[in-house]
Structure 1
């Protein structure tokens, strides 16, 4: 690797001749660790031109550094940092500087959620033998080869000009067309290009919806629900009304009077996995009409309906244009993709597009075009079928092991999904339970953060099975059962 010439600057405070100052500049770069053994330095001609000095001055400085074993010359290849150059000193951890800013006064608003994103998923989760965590993909199932080919195709001459231009607030036309013609009709939704907006995943879509619809308004949310949703709504000063769900999901009759926005996950309730039946969907639309409220439908995992076909989306029953639909490819392709979409009335999408443009213009064009090719060439459907087969096998292994070891399922979903909502005995704190399990190589997700209010139940937890092989599931469930028994005995 070559050291960029732009990183070299002569300090005005350095004493001595130009040659000595150049020597000191290079030596300090090596001693500080910025220039590493084996890295190539700029040629004498490049550095002389950059610094505005004569080439002979740089040559003499390099020669002196070579004599002191800081540099080595390799014929016509140039000068390199010597393998025998002095090593940077190890000072250990540096003492922290004193922060004299009163951040309580300096910050106009705080955005830290009640729990950090990914709190239940350590960065080294893949090193655990039994990772029952939600939202992580199994890399072995993904079609790397065809994704790579689609990425290369997106970089071809045919597409490159469009990808390198600033598209302002516009999205990739091929991706929008695929969503309109293939993805949405599978959910019973008909929408035109002016009613679709590409987002940086479902999280970004929910943020846009919260910003546009929830500012200082009365908002009804499911309880339990996706924890980050409450954080997004608090940021905009929404008056949040948690509505407890039951085995069929959100009860429309319990939505408080005065609610102006309703956030819901009808097809796959988060985190209980219950599915809102048809009669409740119709009742929810009727209740929203009575309240003149907008519904935000988060359809985050409909592709994972491998047990039975998914129910039509709530948006497909909407005749008033009051449902805003949130979809995502991040769950079905891979979490790091961060690609989702919003579907709603054209006027709403125009405002969402303008807001998105003020923050990030649009998601990267290359990612959009690569996804468009992957989807349109049939690779996506093949991937979903492969994932469905794998999740079916893992789901069967989960239910068999859970039944064998006497654990209690609180919600598992009739259509599929990639997790089970579990309930421990009432006196079990699943935060402590999860920590005990980590020492046994098992990861679970405590459920407290999904609930609202001061008296949150602490005995729920979620078991994901998207990233754990089937053959490991029985032993992992056995360890969970064993740890639970030990906690019961100690309690």
Structure 2
């Protein structure tokens, strides 16, 4: 029996190349049982004419399906569904009625908190002032692709396919030790570094190694919302410490604190930079009170105004600072690649915990990143981003001045966002909802605060994915809605 070309349709919102879309259509039809072994496929000419694509596109799709044994070729007769193609399940799919009382069955809840939300279609908005999204006009796709292909080569077969168990790619570790950490004034040995699935995974590992129900953790207010959730889930005692114009004030820390979490280079979300003298004071207080410090240095690469202050870890002489770094902010958020730097006993426990949860980040991703970093593409990207972010920052500041918006916090060395304050009677969440209908995305500030009665008039504006030409108009729209 011949399969009609009229059974094929390319959805307008489908992803991937046309060749991949055709391959997917055929494979899904076989796996679902619609196409059966021995049935003849439409000719490449007929299918190409029906779909409105080139004949070579269909031919290439058929060739790939032939290589994967979904199709078979019979001389000049054409292509047929292979007898070796995967078969759909033979057993009937029975209806299911869920009778589990999940309210009682769930032992610990992880959902329901006040958290940040980012629309999956953020790129379709004309003015996306949201944080942490990559700008495709700046990212070096070509060289990243070449590095990924290099990591797929036979020379790197072991890096691609091996189970590292609890270890990491030695090439990536070497780059972090010899290039990344020295730029922050940090010296470390290989067994003092652990690769993680981004900074958030690093914070989770750290909290679970260091904290329990009898210990107290201090975090900044406002703070990184996911860190607040991590500490809540760890069931430790949590002390919230309000930040000021210089970041976390050491004198405000509770006397019984065990672990302090801080973002000194670019406080999240205010972007405030902790002065060097306060950093020294914090380290002195840690030595006096015998507590540890977790330094989240998530955005140090974005210091384009002037050289960044020394990392807390670089000033630490007693091994009290655990350093969290990330490549996800400077490369792209979907990379999910970060690292921990700490004393050997701590890294040993964090490594053991990581191995029980996810063993290690994918070897191919680690090796691709190692090539991209070591071949100089990363540094070129950082310079390009710094130049563009500087121009965007100046455009933002000019637009704020013209429209009377109030900046509540900004980084002294750069960064990619501003922490804003609206008039006291303005609800930023309501404003954000109204702005979405105008193609504008902003981040309301309430999820960043630790208290229930958090102020509603704060919001964050980021410029990592917004070109200069759109900033003035976008800020003007925000200002028109922020007026009480």
Distance in structure 1 (CA, Å) of the matches to 2:361 and 2:181: 20
Please name the residue that 2:274 is paired with.
Answer: 276
What residue number does 2:8 align with? none
Secondary structure at the residue paired with 1:110? coil
Q: Which one of the candidate residues 218, 222, 226 is aligned to 1:220?
A: 218
Where does residue 464 of structure 2 map in the other structure? Answer: 466
What corresponds to 1:446 in structure 2? 444
CA distance in 2, matches of 1:420, 1:97: 50
Q: What CA distance in whole angstroms lies between the structure 1 residues aligned with 2:102 and 2:228? A: 24
Partner in structure 2 of residue 245 of structure 1? 243
* Structure 1, gaps ≥5 residues long: 1-28, 45-72, 82-95
Report if aligned partners of 1:113, 1:231 keep a CA contact under 8 Å in 2: no
Distance 1:267 1:452 in 2: 21
Secondary structure in structure 1 of the residue aligned to 2:256: coil
| Distance 1:196-1:359 versus aligned 2 partners, 3 A rule | same
In structure 1, what is the equivalent of residue 389 of structure 2?
A: 391
Describe the shift of the 1:113–1:375 C-alpha distance in structure 2 as closer, same or farther (beyond 3 A). farther
Per-residue deviation, 1:33: 9.3
In structure 2, the gaps of 5 or more residues are 1-27, 40-72, 83-94
Q: In structure 1, how many angstroms separate the alpha carbons of the residues matched to 2:255 and 2:38? A: 74
Q: 1:268 offset after TM fit, Å?
A: 0.6
**Aligned partners of 1:104, 1:213: CA distance in 2, in Å?**
30
1:159 aligns with 2:153: no
Structure 2 partner of 1:123: 120
Post-superposition CA distance 1:319-372 (Å, at most 9, x none):
010100000000000000000000000110010000000011100000000000
What does 1:266-305 align with in structure 2 at a 5 Å threshold? 266-305=264-303
Residues 159, 364 of structure 2: 8 Å contact kept:
no
Report the secondary structure of 1:324's partner residue: strand
Give the distance between the partners of 1:218 and 1:113, measured in 2 at CA. Answer: 23
State which of 326, 343, 348 in structure 1 corresponds to 2:341: 343
Deviation track 1:93-113 (CA, whole Å, cap 9, x = no partner) reads: xxx975322212111211125
* CA distance in 1: counterparts of 2:415 and 2:370, whole angstroms: 24
> C-alpha distance in 2, partners of 1:139/1:465?
13
1:177 aligned residue: 174
Q: What is the Cα deviation at residue 482 of structure 1?
A: 1.0
Q: Write out aligned runs for 1:277-426 (5 A).
A: 277-426=275-424
CA distance, structure 2, for counterparts of residue 148 and residue 78 of structure 1:
33
C-alpha distance after superposition, 1:369-427 (max 9, x if no partner):
00000000000000000000110110010000000000000001110000000000011
Match in the other structure for 1:147: 144
Aligned residues: 411
Work out which of the two has the higher radius of gyration on C-alpha atoms and give 1 or 2: 1
The answer on whether the counterparts of 1:113 and 1:228 sit within 8 Å (CA) in structure 2 is no
Q: How many Å separate the matches in 2 of 1:152 and 1:43?
A: 36
- CA shift, 1:438, in A, is 0.5
Alpha-carbon distance in 2 for matches of 1:161, 1:269: 40
3-state SS of 2:223 partner: coil
Residue aligning to 1:57: none
- The answer to whether the 8 A contact 1:43-1:78 is kept is no
Give the SS at the match of 2:294.
strand
Q: Tell me, what secondary structure is at the counterpart of 2:269?
A: coil
Partner of 2:482: 484
Instruction: Give the distance between the partners of 1:304 and 1:205, measured in 2 at CA.
Output: 20
Give distance in 1, aligned partners of 2:32 and 2:385: 45
> Whole-Å Cα distance in 2 between the matches of residues 161 and 322 of structure 1?
36
Task: Give secondary structure in 2 for the equivalent of 1:229.
Answer: helix
Give the C-alpha shift of residue 79 in structure 1. Answer: 3.7
Deviation of 1:469 after TM superposition, in Å, equals: 0.8
Aligned equivalent of 1:188: 185
CA distance in 1, matches of 2:158, 2:437: 52
CA separation of 1:113 and 1:376: change in aligned 2, threshold 3 A: farther
Tell me the residue number matched to 1:110: 109
Q: Distance in 1 between matches of 2:202 and 2:38?
A: 50
1:208 aligns with 2:205: yes
Determine if contact 2:159/2:169 at 8 Å carries over to the other structure.
Answer: no
Secondary structure of 1:135 counterpart: coil
The offset of 1:80, in angstroms, is 5.2
The corresponding residue for 1:42 is 37
Contact 2:38 2:81 in 1 (8 A): no
RMSD: 2.0
